[in-house]
Amino acid sequence: MSSLPRVPLDALTTLATAEDLRAALARPATPSTPPGTRPGVRSGRVPHNKRREAGGATDAAVWERIKDHPCYSEDAHHDFARMHVAVAPVCNIQCHYCNRKHDCANESRPGVTSARLTPEQAVRRVLTVAAQVPQLSVVGVAGPGDALYDAERTLRTFELLRAEMPDLTLCVSTNGLALPDRVAALKALDVDHVTVTINFMDPEIGAAIHPWIFHDHRRWTGREAARILHERQMEGLEAAVAAGMLVKVNSVLIPGINDAHLIEVNQAVRAKGAFLHNVMPLISDPAHGTHFGLTGQRGPTPAEVHRAREALGEDARLMRHCRQCRADAVGMLGEDRCQDVTLDPVDDVAPRPDPEVRAAYRAVVDSARAERAAAAARADALVEAVAAGTEAPRLVAVCSRGGGRVNLHFGKATEFHVYQVDGAGIRFSGVRRADNYCLGGRGDADRLGTILTVLEGVDAVVCVKIGDGPRRRLEAAGLAVHEDGRHEVIETVIAAWLADEAAAPVRARA
C-alpha cells in the first residue's frame, strides 16, 4: 500500500485533528508521484483528469464552484460529503413514483420516513455533523416534500446556516412548480446550486407521471396540470440560470413512459442553460405503496440506464454518479450515516466545527487530487496507446469505498463504479448497486446471481481481492477479474488490467 498523504476519507465517524491532517500532508510523497505535482492543485487550476467533468468544468471559475460539491463534480464525490436536512414536509404536486408517507423520490430512495426538523433543529444537526466530519461541504434541502413549496422553512434554514458556517455550500432540490417565485430569495442567500426534477416536455407524457398539482390556490389535474408544471419548470430554470446559479436537472427514467422522450428533455434543458442532467432510474416496488409500484410499472435495469444515457450523446452534460439519496442523508454519496448522528432535539448546545480542521482537510484533498490527476493522466496515455484502434469500448466495474482508489474486496462491495475504456482513454460511466456478496464471512450464491444481473454488459471486475468461488462464477459468465491490492488510483489499476489483457490476448474467456 502506498504512503499517500491520506486521511481516512471514507471513515466519517473518525475525526482527524488539524495536526493529523498537517502531519499527513508533511509525509513524503508516494514513489509514484511525479516531480512537481505536490503540494497540490492551486486554486483556480483544473486538474488534468477533471477537464472532462460534465458541465464545462474546464472553466477555472466554474471549477471553483463545483470542486467541493459531491454531486456537481464527479471528482469531488470521492472526497466530500453532503448532508440533507428534512425541513420541508409538504408537497404541491403528486408524482406516481412517490408515496407521501415516505421520502421525496426526486432525491431519495423511497421507503424510509425521515424525521421532520425545524430550521433550528436542522442547524444543530448540521453543526453536530460538521464538528465530526471535516468532509462535509454541502448542506441540501431535498424534501421529504418540496423544498420550495413551504419555502419559509427552507429559506430560514439556509439563513441560519449562512450565519453559522459561511464555508458551506447550500443546495436545494425542487419539483420546480414554486421555483419562479423563489429564485430571488435563494440568490439573496447565495444558494448557488439548484436542482429541478423535470421528467417531460410533452404534457401528455407529464400527465402519465404527475396526476395533479396544487397551484394558484387550486388543484389541477391531467394534461392541464402537466402543462402548468412544465411552464413553471421552464420559467424557473431560465430564471435560476439568469441569476447565475448552477442548475442541475434530475429526470426519472420510466421505461415505456418517458425513456425515449428524455432525449428531448436533455436538449431542451441544455438549451436553457442547465449545467448538468442527471438521468436516474425509477425505483419501483409494490412495498413502497406508490402508484407505479402498485400498478406494476417497472424501473429500468442498470444496462438500460447505461444505454439511455449513451443515447443522449457525448455533449449531454450528464451527472453519472447519483446515489438517489434519502431526504435526511448524511455522509459520502452512497452511504447514509443519518442513523449515526444522534441529536437530542431539546439540546440547545451544538458542538462547534473547528475551521482549522476543515481548512486542513481541504489542503489534504488538494494534495490527493493532484496525485490522482497525475496518475490518471499517465493511465490515460497508457490506455490510449494500448486501446488505440480497438472497436468497442470496454466497461470495467471497480470495487471502491472512496478516495478514487481501488480499495475494496469484491465481497464487500455494495456498489460498482463503472468506467468505460477505449482509445480515447478512461471515462467514468456510472454506479451500479447491489447487495454485497459476502455476508458474515460467507458468500451468498443468490446475491452473486443478482450481482451478475447488475453487471450486465460489463467486461471486467477490478477489486482488491476476490475469493476463488465468486471469481470462477464471474469468469464463467464472461467477465475478466483483476485483483490489485495496492489501493492505487482507479485509473492506474484499470490501465494495468488493460495492459495485462493486451499482453495476453489469448486469455480464455468462457
In this chain, which stretch among 264-272, 319-327, 375-383, 453-461 interacts with ligand CLF, using CB under 6 A? 319-327
Q: Which of 212, 201, 254 is nearest to 91 (CA)?
A: 212
Determine, following the binding rule CB under 6 A, whether residue 195 of this chain makes contact with ligand CLF.
yes
Question: CA dist 186 to 15, 91, 114, 250, 433, Å?
Answer: 32, 19, 24, 19, 34
Determine, following the binding rule CB under 6 A, whether residue 82 of this chain makes contact with ligand CLF.
yes
How far is residue 225's CA from residue 210's CA, in Å, rounded to a whole number? Answer: 8
Q: What part of residues 157-196 is at the interface with ligand SF4 (CB under 6 A)?
A: 175
Determine, following the binding rule CB under 6 A, whether residue 106 of this chain makes contact with ligand SF4.
yes
Sign of CA dihedral 260, 261, 265, 271: positive
Query: Quick one: what does residue 325 bind among ligand CLF, ligand SF4, none, with the CB cut-off 5 to 8 Å set by partner type?
Result: ligand CLF
H helical segments located in 243-350: 262-271, 291-295, 302-311
User: Smallest distance, Å, CB 406 to ligand SF4?
Assistant: 35
User: Smallest distance, Å, CB 255 to ligand SF4?
Assistant: 18
Task: With beta carbons less than 8 A apart as the criterion, state whether 277 and 249 touch.
Answer: yes
Determine, following the binding rule CB under 6 A, whether residue 206 of this chain makes contact with ligand SF4.
no
Sign of CA dihedral 209, 214, 219, 223: negative
DSSP H or E stretch at residue 130: helix 119-132
Instruction: For ligand CLF, give the closer residue by CB, 108 or 492.
Output: 108
List 33, 175, 278, 297, residue binding ligand CLF (CB under 6 A): 278
Q: Helix-strand-coil percent breakdown of the chain, rounded to 5?
A: 35, 15, 45
Determine, following the binding rule CB under 6 A, whether residue 146 of this chain makes contact with ligand SF4.
yes
User: Smallest distance, Å, CB 173 to ligand CLF?
Assistant: 4
Query: Quick one: what does residue 105 bind among ligand CLF, ligand SF4, none, with the CB cut-off 5 to 8 Å set by partner type?
Result: ligand SF4
Phi, psi of 273 (to 5 degrees): 100, 10
| CA dihedral angle for residue 72, residue 75, residue 76, residue 81, rounded to 10 degrees | 100
Query: Quick one: what does residue 84 bind among ligand SF4, ligand CLF, none, with the CB cut-off 5 to 8 Å set by partner type?
Result: ligand CLF
Determine, following the binding rule CB under 6 A, whether residue 173 of this chain makes contact with ligand CLF.
yes
Instruction: For ligand CLF, give the closer residue by CB, 132 or 197.
Output: 197
Query: Quick one: what does residue 104 bind among ligand SF4, ligand CLF, none, with the CB cut-off 5 to 8 Å set by partner type?
Result: ligand SF4
In this chain, which stretch among 59-67, 134-142, 264-272, 300-308 interacts with ligand CLF, using CB under 6 A? 134-142
Q: Which residue has the cell 496518475?
A: 375
* Cell digits of residue 370: 493532484
List 333, 341, 464, 496, residue binding ligand CLF (CB under 6 A): 333
Question: CA dist 27 to 4, 315, 404, 488, Å?
Answer: 8, 41, 20, 17
Number of Cβ within a 10 Å radius of residue 45: 14
Determine, following the binding rule CB under 6 A, whether residue 84 of this chain makes contact with ligand CLF.
yes
Query: Quick one: what does residue 94 bind among ligand SF4, ligand CLF, none, with the CB cut-off 5 to 8 Å set by partner type?
Result: ligand SF4
List 201, 322, 448, 489, residue binding ligand CLF (CB under 6 A): 322
One-letter amino acid for residue 297 of the chain = Q
Q: What part of residues 125-144 is at the interface with ligand SF4 (CB under 6 A)?
A: 143
Sign of CA dihedral 220, 108, 204, 198: positive
Query: Quick one: what does residue 195 bind among ligand SF4, ligand CLF, none, with the CB cut-off 5 to 8 Å set by partner type?
Result: ligand CLF
Q: Which of 170, 80, 68, 193 is nearest to 133 (CA)?
A: 80
Phi, psi of 212 (to 5 degrees): -155, 160
DSSP assignment letter at 349: -
x-or-dash pattern for ligand CLF, window 443-472, by CB under 6 A? Answer: ------------------------------
Contact residues for ligand SF4 (CB under 6 A)?
91, 93-95, 98, 104-106, 143, 145-146, 175
Contact residues for ligand CLF (CB under 6 A)?
71, 82, 84, 107, 138, 140, 142, 171, 173, 193, 195, 278, 322-325, 333
